[in-house]
């Protein structure tokens, strides 16, 4: 993927799952990576195992505090040019609306929605000034189709797709590229780390995600779409890949299917 050769790519959620697979493939493609997640020691281990580890840097941030994270990043990065921002960090949910505390909804929004906005706003002025840059957000099929047990996650992902659509429209004349990636079921630890009604982690697998495509394949398809400068792409297989299409053309059918699951 020559598109990434020599580019500085800031990748959040880089320590596991889709983000880790992206980091490995981007490093192989010749990108210079800024790796972000919460734990610096884990990121250092990731960096050390990437191709050309000396090219990459670690920037640990807690995106559950978006404004503080953005301020810390601004200080750490200074005038460094960011060619591509990939907003990949996120947390999912597995709890009924009746059983979910308000603070859990707020945590989902802080990480999955406001975190994207905070980092995007940080890099946006320089990109517009340079008339060059690519902003990517890894949303979800859950941002197009609402399902059970994911009300807060769905809300955040629906919101971030709307934000990206607005960003694309506002920067159309500025030379920027804006891409939304919508993964379906991906075989990662996302279910284990999903928040339950009280905010604790689920700590067990989800049959839907366990049956999905690998993180490596998801990263490959996603990076291919980014390199092609696509506006929006659904990544996955089976029903999760078809769901946004069905939602558009047969919404009643989708509602009935979801209610029965």
Residue-wise pLDDT tens digits, 174-186: 999 999 999 998 9
For residue 250, the domain's CATH number is: 3.40.50.720
For the chain, how many structural domains are there in total?
A: 1
8 Å CB contact between 125 and 168: no
pLDDT tens, position by position, 207-249: 767 778 999 999 999 999 999 999 999 998 887 788 888 888 8
Which of the four pLDDT bands, split at 50, 70 and 90, describes residue 173? Answer: very high
Does 113 participate in catalysis according to the annotation?
no
How confident is residue 159, by pLDDT bands cut at 50, 70 and 90? very high
| DSSP string over 221-247 | HHHHHHHTT-SEEEE--HHHHHHHHHH
pLDDT in tens, 13-62: 999 999 999 999 999 999 999 999 999 999 999 999 999 999 999 999 99
Q: Which two tokens stand for residue 50?
A: 């990437």
Write phi, then psi, for 88 (nearest 5 degrees).
-115, -20
- Distance CA(87)–CA(253), nearest Å, equals 32
- Domain of 175 in residue numbering reads as 2-260
Contact present, 160 and 120 (Cβ < 8 Å): no
pTM of the predicted model as reported, rounded to 2 decimal places: 0.95
Show contacts of 143-146: CB within 8 Å, 24+ apart.
143/182, 144/182, 144/243, 144/244, 144/247, 145/243, 145/244, 145/247, 145/254, 145/258, 146/258
Say what the pLDDT of residue 1 is: 77
d(CA 76, CA 119): 13
Angle between helices 102-109 and 151-170 (to 10 degrees): 30
Q: Which of 3, 105, 113, 153 is catalytic?
A: 153
């Amino acid at each position: 993927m020559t598109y990434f050769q020599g580019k500085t790519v800031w990748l959040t959620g880089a320590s596991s799952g889709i983000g880790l697979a992206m980091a490995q493939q981007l490093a192989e493609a010749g990108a210079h990576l800024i790796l972000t997640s919460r734990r610096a020691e884990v990121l250092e281990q990731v960096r050390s195992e990437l191709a050309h580890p000396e090219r990459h840097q670690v920037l640990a941030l807690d995106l559950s505090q978006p404004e503080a994270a953005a301020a810390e990043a601004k200080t750490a990065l200074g005038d460094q040019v960011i060619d591509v921002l990939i907003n990949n960090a996120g947390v999912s949910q597995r709890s009924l609306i009746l059983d979910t505390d308000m603070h859990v909804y707020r945590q989902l929004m802080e990480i999955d929605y406001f975190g994207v906005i905070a980092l995007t706003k940080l890099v946006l002025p320089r990109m517009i000034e340079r008339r060059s840059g690519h902003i990517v957000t890894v949303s979800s099929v859950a941002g197009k189709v609402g399902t059970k047990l994911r009300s807060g996650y769905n809300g955040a992902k629906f919101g971030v797709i709307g934000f990206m659509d607005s960003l694309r429209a506002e920067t159309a004349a500025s030379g920027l590229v804006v891409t939304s990636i919508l993964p379906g079921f991906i075989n990662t630890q996302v279910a284990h780390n999903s928040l339950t009604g009280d905010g604790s982690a689920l700590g067990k697998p989800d049959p839907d995600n366990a049956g999905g495509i690998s993180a490596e394949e998801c990263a490959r398809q996603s990076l291919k779409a980014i390199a092609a400068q696509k506006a929006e792409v659904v990544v996955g297989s089976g029903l999760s890949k078809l769901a946004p299409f069905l939602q558009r053309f047969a919404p009643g059918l989708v509602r009935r299917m979801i209610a029965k699951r």
